[in-house]
Amino acid sequence: MSASDNKTATQAAYQAFANADLNGAMQDMADDIEWIVPGNSTISRTYRGKDEVRQLFVTLAGKSFRTEPEHFVADGDHVVVLTRVTADGQSSDQTAVLTFREGKIVKFQGGGDTAQQEKIWGSK
């Protein structure tokens, strides 16, 4: 797929997530996706596979998590998303780098305010 196709797929996934459509948000994920949440919060770790990512999404929903993307930048197999994230009434700017292979998201690397994540989710 082209960078443009990857960007379109990413935008569609974020819109589906905003609409609480988990199947739509996950439709372009590889079955063996690697989803990385950095930091030392209770949700910080590497999630492997769609089942673990779905469980993460359910956990996020418990704190009224939402993401409002502001920019999508695509280059080859990578799409960078700059977004405003809110959970438990607290907001911060975050980034995500999605890596595509053969039309599927194989890796999601998040980045943001890890201290705030610890406040919201607790520390390990």
Closest to 29 (Cα-Cα) out of 53, 11, 1:
53
Residue 5: CA atoms inside 13 Å, Cβ hemisphere, count? 11
Average pLDDT over residues 57-72: 96
Q: What is the pLDDT of residues 82-107, one digit of tens each?
A: 999 999 999 999 999 999 999 999 99
Model's pTM, two decimal places? 0.94
Question: Is CATH 3.50.50.100 the right assignment for the domain spanning 3-113?
Answer: no
Q: Note whether 43 and 59 are within 8 A (CB).
A: yes
Q: Which residues of 19-35 are buried (b: 16+ CB within 10 A; e: fewer)?
A: eeebeebbebbbeebbb
Structural domain boundaries of the chain?
3-113
Average pLDDT over residues 65-88: 97
Percent of the chain with pLDDT over 90: 98
- What pLDDT does 95 receive? 97
- What pLDDT does 1 receive? 83
CA distance 118 to 124: 8
Does 68 have pLDDT greater than 90? yes
Strands 45-48 vs 29-37: parallel, antiparallel or unpaired: antiparallel
Token output for 7: 């960007």
